[in-house]
Amino acid sequence: MSDLCNVFEIGPVFRAENSNTPRHMCEFVGMDFEMEIKEHYHEILLMLGNLFVHIFDNINKHCQAELAAIHRQYPFRPLRYRPKNQTLVLDFREVIGLLNANGENAKPTDDLTTPQEKKLGGLIGAQYNTDFYIVDKYPATVRPFYTMPCPHDKRYSNSYDAFLRGQEITSGAQRVHDVDLLTRRATECNIPIESLAKYISSFSMGAFPHGGAGIGLERVVMLFLGLDDIRKSSMFPRTPTRCEP
């Protein structure tokens, strides 16, 4: 809205959730970007895939001594991923079919469970020889109201998750930029319009089609290194039961 068509930020994120899992913390470093869409929201998927490939390439190129030191204490298999412009992208309905062909009872209108995501990582790794991939077109009912609906099938949305070794490292989507559609979507999701007045008004003078993603740095580090707990990727991990040191 301010004519800054490609923006990013890196900073602390605080989450007041009682999440006691090996992949959640109450404080982490967030790496977020939003970008203008010129023709199709898959421009974001290309950017997202190439961003991670750039990160992985440079870690492998410049951090061999550090990787070797970590490997001595926590042995891990090097991450498998495709080159620039070749990141694997699979449709959500395609991965549902893959899971169900291998003993799951996944529904095409429900979100994936954590066990299903991990199983999917193994299946995709075996079939496509990659640990990094993007799942596209999630069901609309499992995404926030401001996610752009799929124009061809309203049951789905222009949204996506990126995965490393079968675990999610970022969620993203094309955002609704039209005031009327944004208002209608909020109403459909039973969100009081008055609580969104300032948010909706920011689009009232016009906005570019846009989208992006939010990435958790420590989770990326954990999964790039094949660690079993995100606390090993943070100097001072903050959890629901740990506030110091």
**How much is the pLDDT for 185?**
94
pLDDT one-digit tens code per residue, 183-195: 999 999 999 999 9
Radius of gyration of the chain (CA): 19
80 classed as catalytic: no
Residue 129 has pLDDT above 90, yes or no: yes
**211, part of any domain:** yes
112 part of a folded domain: yes
Catalytic: which of 9, 17, 66, 188?
17
Of the residues 23, 175, 177, 210, only one is catalytic, namely: 23
Residue of 153, 205, 150 lying closest to 179 (CA atoms)? 205
Residue pLDDT, tens place only, 153-199: 999 999 999 999 999 999 999 999 999 999 999 999 999 999 999 99
Looking at residue 3, what is its pLDDT?
Answer: 81
152 is catalytic: no
pLDDT, the chain, mean: 95
Residue 245: inside a domain, yes or no? no
**Active-site option among 24, 82, 93, 231:** 24
What separation in angstroms does the CA of 233 have from each of 84, 120, 175, 188, 225?
26, 24, 31, 40, 9
**What sign has the CA pseudo-torsion 220, 226, 229, 233?**
negative
Q: How many CB atoms lie within 10 A of CB 163?
A: 25
Range 79-92 average pLDDT: 98
How many angstroms separate the CA atoms of 68 and 70, rounded?
5
Look at residue 158 and tell me if it is in a domain.
yes
| Tally of structural domains, the chain | 1
User: Is the pLDDT confidence value at 58 over 90?
Assistant: yes
Mean pLDDT in residue range 52-80: 97
Percent of the chain's residues with pLDDT above 70? 100
Residue indicated by tokens 């005031």: 179
Is 171 annotated as catalytic?
Answer: yes
Please tell me the distance from the alpha carbon of residue 195 to that of residue 216, in angstroms, as a whole number: 28
Residue 118 lies in a domain: yes
Catalytic residue among 117, 143, 159, 168: 168
**In this structure, is residue 243 part of a structural domain?**
no
**Residues paired with residue 160 on neighbouring β-strands, in sequence order:** 136, 172
CATH of the domain at 210: 3.30.930.10
Catalytic residue among 27, 94, 171, 231: 171
pLDDT of 244? 81
Residue 20 has pLDDT above 90, yes or no: no
Told to judge if 71 belongs to the known catalytic residues of this protein, a careful annotator would answer: no
Does the annotation count 23 as an active-site position?
yes
Query: Is residue 17 annotated as part of the catalytic site, yes or no?
Result: yes
**Active-site option among 143, 177, 219, 234:** 219
**Residue 245: pLDDT above 80?**
no
Which pLDDT score, from 0 to 100, does residue 169 have? Answer: 96
Q: In which band, very low, low, confident or very high, does the pLDDT at 28 lie, cut at 50, 70 and 90?
A: very high
pLDDT of residue 1: 73
Give me the mean pLDDT over the 92-121 stretch: 95
Question: Is 168 an active-site residue?
Answer: yes
Question: In angstroms, how far is CA 210 from the centroid of its own chain?
Answer: 16
Give the pLDDT confidence score for residue 60 in this predicted structure.
98
Question: Is residue 176 domain-resident?
Answer: yes
Domain extent for 111: 7-233
Average pLDDT over residues 214-234: 96
Would you say residue 20 lies in a domain? yes
pLDDT at 113: 94
Q: Tell me, what's the pLDDT at 217?
A: 96
The mean pLDDT of 76-97, rounded to a whole number, is 97
